[in-house]
């Protein structure tokens, strides 16, 4: 399978979230070897969408001729997109949001009603694509935190999506926390294996991998202790 990782962390390989993503991919690769490419959104020259809709009319092209042309080709050449990013202000970091906005040429201006909502009709064929969101965050729990990002992802990619949100993710980059992060990464690897085998992660395992690694108050205390 061709997997494209869209890394939204400006920290690139040093991203806390990429620890989760790499473990998930490792698990997937244990089931069957995949062809994996990673794009660091921060490295790409991607102009903001101008909102002219030229790209959505008659198979049109974007007015910006920048790195997004290549990114779109990579997307269309993939079977699975993994959106790996840290939660920034309850959403995705700006460079990745700019990339998401610029996927507009894949859709046409035509709208269709699906259930009780509208969506644009595709003007390129990306129906085989599946989507995974892997999102880390700095707060100790997920409540009143990940909801906007999760809602956005589900609306953008209503079909074939899997969503993994992990709180306390700066711990993945703290070697002294390996006593809790190493077993967690093993469980995330198992999630990757399950996903590769069946296309889903079981509810029990999902609950396990998205829960805080240490008690919320303890995490907050540790963070607060390093602030001053």
Q: Rule CB under 6 A: which residues touch ligand FMN?
A: 9, 11, 15-17, 86-90, 136-139, 145, 169-170
The packing angle between helices 16-31 and 178-198, to 10°, is: 40
Collapsed DSSP state (helix, strand, coil) of residue 163 = strand
Residue with tokens 């490295």: 43
The least distance separating ligand FMN from the CB of residue 161, rounded to whole angstroms, comes to 20
Looking at the Cβ atoms of 67 and 216, the one nearer to ligand FMN is 216
Looking at the Cβ atoms of 16 and 190, the one nearer to ligand FMN is 16
**Strands 107-114 and 117-122, how do they pair?**
antiparallel
Looking at the Cβ atoms of 123 and 145, the one nearer to ligand FMN is 145
The least distance separating ligand FMN from the CB of residue 14, rounded to whole angstroms, comes to 7
CA angle (171, 147, 158) in 5-degree steps: 115
Buried b / exposed e across 136-165, counting CB within 10 Å, b at 16+? Answer: bbbbbbbeebbeebbebbeeebeeebbbbb
Looking at the Cβ atoms of 93 and 105, the one nearer to ligand FMN is 93
The least distance separating ligand FMN from the CB of residue 138, rounded to whole angstroms, comes to 3
The least distance separating ligand FMN from the CB of residue 139, rounded to whole angstroms, comes to 3
């Amino acid at each position: 399978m061709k997997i494209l990782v869209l890394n939204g962390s400006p920290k690139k390989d040093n991203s806390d979230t990429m620890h989760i993503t790499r473990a998930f991919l490792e698990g997937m690769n244990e089931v069957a070897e995949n062809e994996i490419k990673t794009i660091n959104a921060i490295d790409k020259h991607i102009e903001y969408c101008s909102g002219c809709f030229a790209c959505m009319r008659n198979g049109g092209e974007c007015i910006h001729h920048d790195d997004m042309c290549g990114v779109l080709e990579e997307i269309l050449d993939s079977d699975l997109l993994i959106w790996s990013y840290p939660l920034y202000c309850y959403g995705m970091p700006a460079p990745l949001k700019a990339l998401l906005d610029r996927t507009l040429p894949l859709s046409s201006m035509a709208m269709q009603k699906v259930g009780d909502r509208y969506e644009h009709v595709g003007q390129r064929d990306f129906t085989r694509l599946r989507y995974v969101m892997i999102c880390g965050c700095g707060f100790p729990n997920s409540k009143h935190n990940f909801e906007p990002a999760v809602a956005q992802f589900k609306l953008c990619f209503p079909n074939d999506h899997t969503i993994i949100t992990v709180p306390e993710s700066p711990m993945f980059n703290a070697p002294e926390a390996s006593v809790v992060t190493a077993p967690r990464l093993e469980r995330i690897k198992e999630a990757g294996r399950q996903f590769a085998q069946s296309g889903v992660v079981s509810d029990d395992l999902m609950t396990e991998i998205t829960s805080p690694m240490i008690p919320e108050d303890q995490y907050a205390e540790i963070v607060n202790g390093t602030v001053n």
